[in-house]
Amino acid sequence: MPAIEPLPFRLRVPGEDVIDFKGIQSVSYRVEGLLHLVDDTLEFEWSATEKTERVSFAKIGTEVDRSPIGRLEVPAGWLAEVRLHSSWWRPRLVLRARRLDAFDGMPGAKPGAIVLRIRRRFREQAEAFVAAVEQARAATPMPPLETLPEIDASDVPPLIDGGDT
């Protein structure tokens, strides 16, 4: 498989606003990263920035915290769907996995799915990336799931029904 350039992306992570008797606090998050395809594995790396703005009677201020670089590897065989949702203004790379834990630990990920925001200028690169991932998916079978230990029925507490008896 020919080498393919890493694809820059952004993740959407909702912020938080709090208004109380102490003042006003607004927290916003910015997550940017690179998606690599190495052999038959997708390698995500990202950096997150948290910006907290506070206004109170005592002070006004802004704090910026940068988290350490995060990394995650996902075998191409774990992916059920890879598509580029290409609108004119905001192309998005949609990844849906065959496992709910495939994207665990990534900011903004949902169980078994993640949406990567791609800048317009990287649209053609994203199209090539999707084609390369599809090729890797076809060549790589899904790795088997780990077997979970069996649960003994005597270890499970009985359910308490809160309804009428």
pLDDT band at 149 (very low <50, low <70, confident <90, very high): low
Collapsed DSSP state (helix, strand, coil) of residue 64: strand
- Asked: is 7-141 a CATH 3.40.50 domain? The reply is no
pLDDT, residue 71, reads 96
pLDDT, residue 76, reads 92
Q: What letter would DSSP give residue 110?
A: B
Rounded CA-CA distance 146/160 in Å is 31
> Is pLDDT of 143 > 70?
no
Q: What is the mean pLDDT of the chain?
A: 87
Question: What burial letters (b/e) apply to 129-140, b meaning 16+ CB within 10 Å?
Answer: bbebbeebbeeb
pLDDT tens column, 2-50: 578 999 999 999 999 999 888 999 999 999 999 999 988 999 999 999 9
pLDDT band at 89 (very low <50, low <70, confident <90, very high): confident
Collapsed DSSP state (helix, strand, coil) of residue 122: helix
pTM of the predicted model over 0.85: no
